[in-house]
Chain A
Amino acid sequence: MADYLLSIMTFFPLLGILVLLFLPRDNGGLLKGFTLAVSLITFAISLPLAFDNVFTTSGGMHYREFYQWINIGDFFQMNYNLGVDGISLWLVMLTTFIVPITVLSTWNAVDKNIKGFMAMLLLLETGMLGAFVSLDLFLFYIFWELMLIPMYFLIGIWGGQNRIYAAVKFFIYTAVGSLLMLVAIIFVYYFAVQSGAPMNGFGIQELYKLDLPYNAQFWLFLAFGFSFAIKVPMFPLHTWLPDAHTEAPTAGSVILAAVLLKMGTYGYVRFAMPLFPEALPTFIPFLAFLSVVGIIYGSLVAMMQDDIKKLVAYSSVAHLGFVMLGVFSLNLQGLAGGMIQMINHGISTGALFLIVGFLYERRHTRLITEFGGVATKMPIFATIFMIVTFSSIGLPGTNGFVGEFLALMGAFQSSLRWYAVFATTGVILAAVYMLWVYQRVMFGKVTNPKNENLKDLSVREIIIMLPLLLFIFWIGIFPNTFFSKMNPAMEQMLIQMGANPVAVVEPATSETHAPAHSATPATQADGHK
């Protein structure tokens, strides 16, 4: 089981689709229940990863799976090359964790073509998981593109008024970036082949060891970075996001926010930065600048939105700015902050989208002006919304704070100090837009008669939110659960990025270095089996 864990996990949803196709199309409950079961089983399959202590000691790849897939001699080789390390671990967990929640959230929201919807959700899950566990650039690219398709349909078929525009925009926007990345991937491969470096298909671990000339790294980083920047999205490549989020059905928005955006940031951490470390210093000021602009810009624009969902969408731009800033600070604190902020954003913004979804299901509008005084009618909802709001603001004790703080801390310790100062203003702005919207929606008297009969959250809806709330506090209070498994991998990654992870002072941390180095030959051996 453990040997094939990643494959089973990745393709289990696909298996689910096969069964799903033969279920009667009219029985919505059965379809949803089945999908929920599939996603829960997938989650269960992935659970051993979260409890595996091997990640705390070694930053290398674990749960490796390696098969030759396409091998055309001197043309190219692609391998089915899976593995997971501390960096992808929690993103995998986040994915398997969030999908059942989204399935639950569709219970009343989706009534059109349920079978298709569920199939798309499961397909999306396979795509996301595959992208996180791929160690072969080619395989990664396939999963990366595979995610696009179900998301396109989710937005386009089950979306709102302007869904077609949003879906097509989403698709083409992201595809432009990823196609350029494809060129870069191919280039790296042939460069490596021609340089005679030991290769293992498009395996990134071998590609990490490449010594590309600066000029090539520059362009390659540009291509990779561009693609990932669109996905993140970084200013000014973000305009697909508000549209996609606003039009997508709740489940789509949640997954988009929680996982799909992480593909971009993950891509930076896993591919763009460690593969092209020499180009990194050239780009970092620029990218950090964009991140900071994203934080401030996203916040200011979010502030003035009249559609709650759009507001949350723009807030994502700001949040991911923190992630990127942390990652670009190239030290352990910043990277850890960025990584945990990815999870946080997934949880908090996912929860916000669910919350907007709850409102939308009840009132079929998301305009802030349509609401007001909802707190009187929906006290439980108000409480949950409040907690999530503060998590999103980054109140200490909630998850948001840990991520933001570490990201900023990392940035302050790096050359990005001045950027970080400006980024910190995002802390103020986040409070401004979130509290303002909260006030306008929840507080005040019920002025709109349509809000008189709002029902508070149902048990199902509370169940959806509870796990998210749990993690909001868990990460806020015991983030070490996560850091302990991320640290070794992050250190190794930072070394790969050409950065000194920490000025090693205490002997305690130098111990964790040792396995990081020794893991390298082990993985090399894996590659040639």
Chain B
Amino acid sequence: MYSNLWLIPFFPLVGAIFNGLFGKKIKNEAAIGGIATGLMFLSFLVATQNLFKLIGDTEKVHELVMASWINVGNFQLNWEFLLDPLSAVMIMVVTGVGTLIHLYSIGYMHGEEGYYRFFSYMNLFAFAMLMLVLGGNALVMFIGWEGVGLCSYLLIGYYYEKKSASTAANKAFIVNRVGDFGFLCGLLTLFWALADKGVWTLNFVKIAESGHLLESGGLLITVVTLCFFLGATGKSAQIPLFTWLPDAMEGPTPVSALIHAATMVTAGVYMIARMNGLFAMAPATMMTIAIVGGLTAFFAATIGLAQNDIKRVLAYSTVSQLGYMFLAMGVGAFSAGIFHLMTHAFFKACLFLGSGSVIHGLHHAYHHAHLHDDPQDMRNMGGLRKKMPITFITFLVSTIAISGIPLFSGFFSKDEILWWSFGSTRGHWMLWVLGAAAAGMTAFYMFRLVFMTFFGEQKTAARAKDHIPESPFTITIPLMVLGFFAVVGGYIGVPKILGGVNRFDAFLAPVFEQAQHLNEIHAHGTHATEYTLMAISVAIAIVGIFTAWVMYIKNPELPGQFVAKFASAHKVIFNKWYIDELYDFLFVNPCKKIGTFLWRGIDVKIVDGVVNGCAWVVKGIGTGLRYTQSGYLYNYAVAMVIGAVVIVGYFIF
């Protein structure tokens, strides 16, 4: 029935291997990009087919076992895929957005050295991501989980000659590994806990079936889920492991769009959703997730307020939006979280690609003018709306969507999350406050971005001013498609209160309903409350936009004065709350110091010192004894007499 499921990850894998092995020989960029994009599109087609099949199917959970993987005693693990509404949504997002970004890359990466390498990595990433979302057991998922980390590493380090790029790549992978540590611990503890009850499995379906064997709310389940959550924070850039994501902007922009906005970073959200049954059983974990998510949304937004690099603003925005998703997960709004995941994928990909288009244009102009200004610094931009109309429009649409203005996709998803955070049995009004404040700030800094980039005076250096082109079609088409979805993507999930039927929620229901039901997770409250909250959040967003307008269009001196007035606060925010420095201080430097100490101090001095010391002592004793051998007959005779006296004396007395 769903036996072609394996084709979905298989196509990108073929592309990755093909381009990886033969890409270098193929000089034709179009061919390389075409193969990669085409294979992604094939994968998208298969995904679509499966999605429709699933929609029409009454049975919503399907497993496909491909082969046996690890088979040791009772631990029997297969290569298996799982298709249910959740993974169906994910594969659509991954293949859909992925195809568009591939297409975009054909133009964007034009002329780059290692073009084939880029597409090989991108395809490999798609493969890994699809393994992640389709994996039928935790270990297949983990393959994808680490695989996306690997690809992220490779792609961030794409410009490996740049020190900052390779460092960022390392940081991304290592921070992810910290998360993986949590994931592994969780997985292994879960396996042990279940094995203890006689269920030897890592299969998601079986885990979901036998989750009830564990004590609900018990220590074990809390530890397991907390570990998983640690994994999720790593992958999805949440507090405390979010620092890698802004640095990851060192990669080419399509990478940022695909990996660091639309797909990979949402893996953590997906994972929690996938294991919702377990998480639902651990209220403490849920609360932690909600708080962490809310705080992340808030703090990342504050940092976003003060950044000048166009991609970094978007990166913090991504962190912030991921915080929303976690907030959703934490309060039990699983489907809302996934919904936001999807809409976010559309508008954030669009934003990234738009920013890429801007950078591309500026880069082109600078190149033309032989300037070496930073094409990503917003302070060099301005007034681009006339130069790049398509980019501008799609960008603006997406910005509105992310700001949560009604009728755009972001509104529906964000609002549902805010509502749940307020009204859910696992929610709290403080969470709502955090979310709403973040929403306001998001509106502010996103419009700040738009205003600085597209409005006002052109601040680009004079020589380059007139050479900023609109991007080619391969770039603008994806922009337009994504812009379209940024507007309409939300309509599949219009909440009931606004007259919708929330098809999205209904589609995902088989995955989440049971857990929500069993653990009494639901949002409650009157319609009035809901309306009020909705209005407040919209108002906050509008205030944010207005403030941005005031500060950056009407009265451009204001930000400067503002900064001067709150210099220290600005400095803290501008420097990202000094989190990187804190981590350097807390972990990186101590590790290096400990490493050096262990090596120079312990290993060489003590451990090896003991060994060499033994040798030294033995040799020293030898040398000492050697001098007993004085060469004088007298001494020898004395030794003999002493020997005889001692021997005889000892035994006769």
Contact = CB atoms under 8 A, between A and B. Distances in A.
Interface in B100-129: none
Interface stretch (B139-147, B263-271, B314-322, B380-388): B139-147
Contact of A424 (B20, B72, B185): B185
A483 B76 CA distance: 11
A506 B74 contact: yes
Contacts of B591: 300, 303, 432
Contact residues of A: prevailing secondary structure: helix
B520 interface: no
B74 A427 contact: no
A381 B28 CA distance: 24
Given A397-B143, A435-B174, A421 B185 contact: yes
Contacts of B163: 443-444
Contact of B157 (A303, A443, A478, A483): A443
B200 A505 contact: yes
A413 B192 contact: yes
A428 B73 contact: no
Contacts of A390: 150
A332 interface: yes
A376 B181 CA distance: 32
Interface string A485-529: 001000100000000011111100100000000000000000000
B147 to A, nearest CB: 7
A326 B52 CA distance: 45
Interface stretch (A113-121, A258-266, A400-408): A400-408
A336 interface: yes
A97 B190 CA distance: 38
Contacts of B67: 478
Interface string A407-439: 011001100010011001101100110011001
B364 to A, nearest CB: 24
A281 interface: no
B173 A431 contact: yes
Interface in A257-284: none
B556 interface: no
Interface string B51-75: 0000000000000000111111111
Interface in B549-602: 591-592, 594-596, 598-599, 602
A477 B147 CA distance: 14
Interface string A28-43: 0000000000000000
Given A445-B161, A502-B73, A412 B191 contact: yes
A332 B184 contact: no
Interface string A293-334: 000010011011100000000000000000000000001110
Contacts of B177: 427-428, 431-432
B160 A444 contact: yes
A177 interface: no
Given A303-B592, A413-B195, A435-B153, A505 B74 contact: yes
B205 interface: no
B166 interface: yes
Contacts of B615: 172
Contacts of A491: 73
Contact of B181 (A375, A425, A478, A487): A425
A505 B197 CA distance: 11
Contact of A304 (B73, B189, B191, B599): B599
Interface in B167-205: 167, 169-170, 173-174, 177-178, 180-181, 184-185, 188-189, 191-192, 195, 198, 200
Q: Bin the interface of chain B by size.
A: 35 or more
B88 to A, nearest CB: 23
A160 interface: no
Given A239-B611, A427-B184, A444-B160, A439 B170 contact: yes
A526 to B, nearest CB: 27
Contacts of B180: 427-428
Nearest to A417: B192
B611 to A, nearest CB: 6
A169 B608 CA distance: 11
A162 interface: no
B640 interface: no
A504 B74 CA distance: 7
B373 interface: no
A484 interface: yes
Given A442-B160, A443-B166, A487 B592 contact: no
A396 interface: yes
A236 interface: yes
Contacts of B74: 332, 502-506, 509
Nearest to B144: A396
Interface centre among B169, B191, B599 (most CB of A within 10 A): B599
Contact of A173 (B142, B157, B611): B611
B607 interface: yes
Q: Bin the interface of chain A by size.
A: 35 or more
B603 interface: yes
Interface in A359-405: 373, 375-376, 379, 383, 390, 395-397, 401-402, 405
Given A301-B598, A395-B150, A439-B170, A484 B191 contact: no
B233 to A, nearest CB: 14
Contacts of A395: 146-147, 150
A479 interface: yes
B571 to A, nearest CB: 30
A383 B24 CA distance: 13
A396 B161 contact: no
A480 interface: yes
A479 B69 contact: yes
Contacts of A297: 598, 602
B607 A428 contact: no
A100 B598 CA distance: 37
Given A431-B174, A502-B73, A412 B192 contact: yes
A390 B150 CA distance: 9
B505 to A, nearest CB: 33
Interface in B15-73: 20, 24, 67-73
Contacts of B611: 169, 173, 239-240
A409 B76 CA distance: 13
Nearest to A302: B595
A396 B146 CA distance: 7
A336 B180 CA distance: 22
Given A406-B72, A408-B184, A396 B147 contact: yes
B184 A424 contact: yes
B68 A333 contact: no
Contacts of B603: 239, 242, 301
Given A301-B603, A442-B160, A444-B166, A428 B178 contact: yes
A420 B185 CA distance: 9
Interface centre among B72, B74, B165, B607 (most CB of A within 10 A): B72
Interface in A437-474: 439, 442-445
Contact of B72 (A303, A305, A483, A503): A483
A343 to B, nearest CB: 14
Nearest to A172: B615
A320 to B, nearest CB: 16
Interface in B376-429: none
Nearest to A430: B177
Given A239-B608, A375-B160, A435-B169, 13 more contacts: A239-B607, A304-B596, A373-B161, A395-B147, A397-B146, A405-B184, A421-B185, A427-B184, A444-B166, A477-B69, A478-B67, A479-B70, A509-B73
A-B residue pairs, 4 tightest by C-beta: A332-B73, A443-B166, A304-B595, A412-B188
29 contacts: A238-B607, A301-B603, A303-B595, A304-B596, A304-B598, A332-B73, A332-B74, A332-B75, A333-B75, A396-B139, A396-B142, A405-B184, A412-B189, A413-B195, A424-B184, A427-B177, A427-B180, A428-B177, A431-B174, A432-B174, A432-B177, A435-B169, A435-B173, A439-B157, A445-B161, A479-B70, A480-B68, A480-B69, A487-B73
